[in-house]
Amino acid sequence: MSPNGTPTNITWHDGNLSRDERESAAGQKGVTIWLTGLSASGKSTIACALEQHLLHQGIIAYRLDGDNIRFGLNKNLGFSPEDRTENIRRIGEVSKLFADAAIVAITSFISPYREDRDSARKVHDAANLPFVEVYVDAPLEVAEQRDPKGLYKKARAGQIKDFTGISAPYEAPANPEIHIRTDQSSVEEAAQQIFDYLSEKGLIVRRQKN
């Protein structure tokens, strides 16, 4: 590694297939749908509904879920600001790989820092892959009332430190492609809203397989 963090002695090895060829073979296009919001805002629930909806249309989607990823790839990371940034950096890279492989990547991470989400977007921009930021928005009071995992209760009791919305910040997206108020719409409506956006923008057109 050089002093500025750039790896040394490695050279990018191009493949023999263009993205277009890969997308043609898959019969679909790659895209990352990035869900961000408070704990219990509904990210994982909506991600599951959307994945199912896409699969019913014959489109392969794959979920990268915050909690699940911490069981494996990111099991060495905690919730300090540095670890949260590294958590999101890795998922930005992994979702890009899925999108590059012509899969609809659906990520559901609190991803509380705007700068980290913007970095994930930049990774996609640089690879010429679409990135759709979805603000899964529920007022703190609503999220806290839902509290499906009992985390807010623990955070209020001081048993969890650095808990987003209580003792750690959440920076809401300034310009998300999609804004969903989950206290005002159902899970199905939220999934449909994302699906309609993707359809309108031509991001999930099924292609003729060759």
Annotated active-site positions, please? 108
Judged by CB under 6 A, the chain residues 48 through 77 that form the site for ligand ATP are: 66-67
In the complex with Mg ion, which residue's Cβ is closer, 43 or 84?
43
The DSSP 8-state label assigned to residue 209 in this structure reads: P
- Cβ(2)–Cβ(76) below 8 Å: no
Which region, judged by CB under 6 A, interacts with ligand ATP, from 52-60, 82-90, 152-160, 186-194? Answer: 186-194
- For residue 137, what are the β-bridge partners? 181
58: Cβ contacts below 8 Å, ≥ 6 apart? 206
In the complex with Mg ion, which residue's Cβ is closer, 104 or 129?
104
Burial 71-103 (b: 16+ CB within 10 A, else e): eeebeebebeeeebbbbbebbbebbbebbbebb
Residue 107 makes contact with ligand ATP by CB under 6 A: no
- Cβ(160)–Cβ(20) below 8 Å: no
With CB under 5 A as the contact rule, the residue among 44, 74, 87, 95 that binds Mg ion is 44
In the complex with Mg ion, which residue's Cβ is closer, 29 or 43?
43
Q: Which residues bind ligand ATP (CB under 6 A)?
A: 37, 39-46, 66-67, 108, 110, 146, 148-149, 182, 185-187, 190
Q: Which residues bind Mg ion (CB under 5 A)?
A: 43-44
